Structure 1
Amino acid sequence: MRRVLVSLAATAAVSVIGTGQAVAAQAAPAARATGQAMAAGPAALPKGFLLEEDKVNGPRRPWEHLKLTDSLKKPLEVNPCDRRTARDGRSASRTFTYVAETVYRSEQVVLYPSERAARAAMQSVRADLDKCGTGGRGPNRYSYKWKSTDIGDEALRVGGFFFENSSRSVIVRKGSAVAVYVRTGVVTKSLPVSQFRPLIKDARTMATKLCDLPGVCRR
């Protein structure tokens, strides 16, 4: 599922063909290979765990669309190969999305049964960025740039460049969990940290918070 933010109408109505993001299906074999650690991770995310979660039931304007889902099939929000279904052996997942006119914002936390499985998920993201980092023609063209970022155990900041818009993403792994933060907005191809500060701040906060969950971080 690429479902990228490829085209926004001149009227400022958002056309969310997708988030331009997610985890590769190839992570599944690696995840299955970690049977010896499958029971290590927590089975569920506590209610209210996401930083943005309480906004779902708060006030909103008619043009604002907020959604919260615990679907295990929803791919990671960094998804350059447009994979439609996650098959990475995750044990829990929660995704918050916000869409309003030209704005797309999301927060996602995924728990894996082992650190090895979470590492495999991050490796799949890198592989997908290499494989599907550019493509399309005309209004469907897109490209991605990415750099390593000093958060958690490993992290990337990713810029997505589409026909009429762009997106900024930060994906971080901490122990056996992965968190993703996405926002539309101006980003240049050098990916300066200054353009990612709000996302980096949230990712750093969540990386610390994840260690409060049993089995996520090594003690």
Structure 2
Amino acid sequence: MATVVVIGSLVGGTGVAHAGATEIPKGFLLTERAATAGPIVEDEEWWEIGNSLSRQLAFNPCRTKAKPRDGRVAMRTITYSTSAPSGSGEQLVLYRSAKSAQAAFRKLRADLARCPRQAVAKGGTGSRFGYVGKPLRVGDEALSVAGHFYKRGKREREPAELEVVARRGAALFIYSDVGNGPAAGRKIVNQAKKMTKKVCDLPGVCG
């Protein structure tokens, strides 16, 4: 059976920087303008914007359902879905300190190592879905994750899901893409790089 290797992320920015921002300004996320404008093609694409603090992180490899209690003070999640089916997502989470954000990132990285594969039903077969993560030089620490279907221990060539999880100071942000192929990886990495700079405009986030 193929082995899913999860590589630890880069570690940095361990200082405690208390976040002065307790809310995310309207229109702050990169995809928010498009999401607010609504669908381009009716009944073919859908946007959702939510500010719930009790929502799980957009990347949740262990399918955790327990209510999060990780020191977050503000959160915004934007999802885009199409009838293709395909989709993408953007999530920004502000924590009370850089230490709390780092702990959340560390837990997510541990979950990725603990739950690399999940059983799934795909066309009535006993397929499984697995993640492979590697460090990414974005912000203080980051991971690039690819999700693949496995059948009889063999990984399908093209990733079905791509994720970038990054932290800068007291902020954690996640960009995801489903069903748009490997080329979408560059797009979500660039989005994460933009947010790495943008999030420092919020008071106290970057120290």
Same fold, TM exceeding 0.5?
A: yes
Offset, 1:137: 5.4
SS in 2 for 1:118: helix
1:114 shift after superposition:
0.3
C-alpha deviations, 1:110-140, integer Å up to 9, x for none? 0000000000010011110011111315536
CA–CA distance in structure 2, aligned partners of residues 86 and 162 of structure 1: 28
Instruction: Select between 47-56 and 135-144 the one with higher mean Cα deviation.
Output: 135-144
Match in the other structure for 1:100:
82
Deviations 1:145-177 (A, max 9, x none): 000000000000001123797111101100000
- What's the TM-score once normalised by structure 2's chain length? 0.79
Aligned residues: 176
Alpha-carbon distance between aligned partners in 2 of 1:136 and 1:76, rounded to the nearest angstrom: 20
Instruction: Provide the identity percentage.
Output: 38
**Letter in structure 2 aligned against 1:89:** G
2:102 to 119, 132, 146: 119
Q: How does 1:20-31 map to 2 (within 5 A)?
A: none
Return the letter of the residue paired with 1:83.
T
Q: Which residue of 1 aligns with 2:181?
A: 186
Following TM superposition, where does structure 1 have runs of at least 4 consecutive aligned residues deviating by more than 4 angstroms? none
Alpha-carbon distance in 2 for matches of 1:49, 1:175: 17
CA RMSD of aligned residues (A): 2.0
SS in structure 2 of the partner of residue 91 of structure 1: strand
Q: Which structure has greater helix proportion? A: 1
Aligned partners of 1:41 and 1:148: how far apart in 2?
29
2:187 to 185, 190, 198: 198
Task: Report 1 or 2 for greater relative contact order, CA contacts < 8 Å, sequence distance ≥ 6.
Answer: 2
Specify which structure has the higher proportion of strand.
2
- The reply on whether 1:145 has 2:132 as its aligned counterpart is yes
Q: Which residue of 2 aligns with 1:86?
A: 68
**Runs of 5+ unmatched residues, structure 1:** 1-36, 188-193
SS in 2 for 1:106: strand
Q: Deviations over 1:57-112 (max 9, x none)?
A: 32422121110000001111110111134221200000000111211210000000
Report the counterpart of residue 203 of structure 2 in structure 1. 214
Listed as ranges, the gaps of 5+ residues in structure 2 are 1-15, 151-155
Check 1:118–1:138 CA distance in 2 against 1; reply closer, same or farther (3 A cut).
Answer: same
